[in-house]
Amino acid sequence: MLKLRAMQRRCSLLPRLLLTLHLLALSAVSHSNTVQGTVIQGAVVQAATPAKDQSTTGQTTVKGTAQNAAEGTAEASAEEAAKADPADFVPHYPLPTPGNDLVGANQTARLSAADTLIDVAARHHLGYNVLRSANPEVDAWLPGEGTEVLLPLQTLLPTVAREGIVINVAEMRLYHYPTLKSEGARSVYVYPISVGRREWSTPLTRTRVTGRAKDPSWYPPESIRKEHAARGDILPKVVPPGPNNPLGNYLLSLGIPSYFIHGTDKKFGIGMQVTHGCIRMYGRDIEQLTKAVPNNTPVTIINQTVKTGWHNGKLYLEIHPALETMSVIEEGKLNTAVKALVQATKDYPDTTINWDKVDQVVTAETGLPTLVGQRPQPTKTLVLDEG
């Protein structure tokens, strides 16, 4: 009887799966785009509260993990996330103190019968890639009612200057470091994104924000129109603003001609290689980012599959699967991890590293920051009074 029910549910999900894959295939946006839209003037530094996306609300129950709470990693942010409607919560954290790199706190979610991992990712401001990597044993389309999944909200900040916008295509995350107009604690916002697919990789470069638009029109180039036509999808020369525009409702233009950070007309696809090189975000996220960053904000696009960092004297390693690119074979990831760890400990040569754990982390590629080493604890000198 249980097998029959599972088969029935799997059959009922098949049309949904096929539709999702079809939508992902049709929603890619070219790196040769032309757009028009309402220019937004006077972008403010303080991010606006994102609008609720009713399509992503659900019945998943969320709780923080005891391990992270015990290690003291952003408990306040975890509590805020647990209390808020996940559709309204964008993970953001105070910048770590100098010498520290870990932000966020993982949580767990217990799923409903109708949930898929794509649903859960959209609901909790996660990309499908990090959720899939963190839960490799969970069926992506039939997790099952009551299944508990890990929400990977903890991350090491990339090894690059913490300013403006930093995009790490390897983990498909965008980090925004707002600039404060007055003295105060700086913070970092962490957004999931989609990046360029295999033959249309997102360029690795340093650029800047050059403009923004609300309700942009999309002018697909002839090459993309031919690509869609080959699939039986006839694109018009101009796709006007609206629910069928793959650019979504907001867009940031960059110093790289025809590359954008933009929204989407689809709920699915964030955390996947599905674009023609642009950076795609959830609609509520790009709206917040567009209103938060001024023109000339620096944008750094990197590809760090291996990240190392510190938290209170403990050394962490975070490994992400390599992107599917034209050169799909990435050799020597263990060597890359070893070099990164050596670099991270150059000022702390007495650091103890668990190399067996390092090997496990490199093999698993869960994308989760994992404790692999620790600096020696400072010894206290006891001074005796000779009198």
Output b/e per residue, 329-354; b: 16+ Cβ within 10 A: eeeebbebbbebbeebbeebeebebb
Q: Where in the sequence numbering do the catalytic residues fall?
A: 262, 278
In this structure, are residues 248 and 286 in contact, taking their beta carbons and an 8 Å threshold? Answer: yes
CA dist., res. 278 & res. 274, Å (int):
9
Residue located via tokens 């006007």: 240
For 131, phi and psi rounded to 5 degrees? -70, -40
Which of 284, 254, 250 shows the shortest CA–CA distance to 267? 284
Angle at 87 between CA 370 and CA 286, to 5 degrees: 85
In this structure, are residues 255 and 210 in contact, taking their beta carbons and an 8 Å threshold? Answer: yes
| Burial label, 171 (beta-carbon count in 10 A; 0-12, 13-18, 19+) | buried
Q: How many residues does the chain have?
A: 387
Residue 16 tokens read as: 């949904």
CA dist., res. 149 & res. 51, Å (int):
26
CA dist., res. 191 & res. 172, Å (int):
9
Residue located via tokens 């960059």: 254
Q: What is the DSSP letter of 56?
A: G
